[in-house]
């Protein structure tokens, strides 16, 4: 297995772990954080262990603690009801050499 694949797999697993940890109501929460049948998978190595069992070592190595992960909550104001930002993009149409604004000075 290549290092790149292992890194991508670890990132994907970490993402799942963090998302589930942030939402205790998630049906996977108990499966990941209170895994069962650990002894079964130890005695029968041909069986594929559940995610919670397979990821326990990585969690210990990364020192991830579910109690330190902020819990997900829906915002009080729905995003679609917020006033859209008014962004001025006029400076994007001007060459940097033609502007005299202080934040466009060349770095020296």
Q: How many CB atoms lie under 10 A from the CB of residue 55?
A: 20
Does a structural domain hold residue 93?
no
Does a structural domain hold residue 90?
no
pLDDT tens for the chain, 108 residues: list them: 555 555 566 777 788 888 888 988 888 888 888 888 888 888 988 888 888 888 887 778 878 788 888 888 888 998 899 998 888 777 677 777 776 666 555 555
Query: Please, are residues 82 and 75 in contact by the beta-carbon 8 Å criterion?
Result: no
Does a structural domain hold residue 89?
no
Domain count, the chain: 1
pTM: 0.55
- Residue in 12, 3, 13 with CA at minimum distance from that of residue 51: 13
Does a structural domain hold residue 25?
yes
Does a structural domain hold residue 101?
no
Structural domain span for residue 55 = 3-68
Does a structural domain hold residue 33?
yes
Does a structural domain hold residue 13?
yes
Handedness of CA 14, 72, 34, 49 (dihedral sign): negative
Rg (Cα) of the chain, in Å, rounded?
24
Question: Residue 9, class by beta-carbon neighbours within 10 Å (0-12 exposed, 13-18 middle, 19+ buried)?
Answer: exposed
């Amino acid at each position: 297995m290549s290092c790149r694949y292992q890194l991508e797999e670890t990132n994907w697993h970490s993402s799942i772990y963090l998302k589930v940890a942030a939402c205790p109501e998630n049906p996977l929460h108990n499966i990941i954080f209170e895994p069962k049948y650990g002894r079964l998978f130890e005695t029968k190595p041909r069986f594929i262990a559940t995610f919670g069992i397979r990821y326990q070592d990585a969690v210990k190595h990364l020192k991830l603690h579910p109690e330190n992960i902020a819990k997900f909550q829906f915002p009080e104001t729905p995003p679609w009801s917020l006033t859209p930002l008014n962004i001025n993009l006029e400076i994007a149409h001007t060459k940097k050499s033609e502007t005299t604004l202080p934040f466009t000075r060349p770095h020296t």
